[in-house]
Amino acid sequence: MAARRLVIGRRLLQRMLEHCLEEKPLEACGILAGTNGYVNAVYATDNARRSPVSYQVDPEQQEEALRRIAAAGEGLLGIYHSHPSAKAVPSRSDIEYAVHYPDAVRLIISLDGPIDVGAFLIRDGQVEPVHLHIRDGLGGTYYDLRQRCGT
Ligand SMILES: [Zn+2]
């Protein structure tokens, strides 16, 4: 049964947001891990497409993240990416390319105007919203797997 909600600590979300701002104007991306819908680790990765309108998690960094997630006894909860100049809803290509990991929540962070975060499940071209709970005082660790630094 796929997660219908995702819980993340405010501090961890803030760190993800900084990652997205660092990569602007390109889309940023990364991986969310944890258990029972609670995000315990964020892995920032390079966008292999280096594009302002689409993303692909760097395949080697994705492997590295999945190795660490398995070693920690956690699961892949989600994949996040930014929309530097679009709303926090899946783009056509987000829906088209969401063929792997159908149970992973797609978190989209919009930097277009006031920062906005959307969470979705995308399966067989269908988009279903997921409840995102942002909690104060919840821990979690941010790992930066990127090879290229900042801007
Ligand atoms: Zn997108």
Confidence label for 151 from pLDDT (cuts 50, 70 and 90): very low
Give me the mean pLDDT over the 102-118 stretch.
95
Instruction: Round the CA-based radius of gyration of the chain to a whole number and report it.
Output: 14
145 Cα–ligand 1 center, Å:
20
Q: What would the pLDDT profile of 17-59 be if each residue is shown by its tens digit?
A: 999 999 999 999 999 999 999 999 999 999 999 999 999 999 9
76 Cα–ligand 1 center, Å:
19
Q: Which residue has the tokens 């892995």?
A: 43
Q: Which helix (H) or strand (E) holds 93?
A: helix 92-97
Residue type, 58: D
- Taking the whole predicted model, whether its pTM rises above 0.75 is answered as yes
Query: How would CATH label the architecture of 5-142?
Result: 3-Layer(aba) Sandwich (3.40)
9 Cα–ligand 1 center, Å:
22
Domains of the chain, by residue range, sit at: 5-142
Other Cβ atoms closer than 10 A to 84: 18
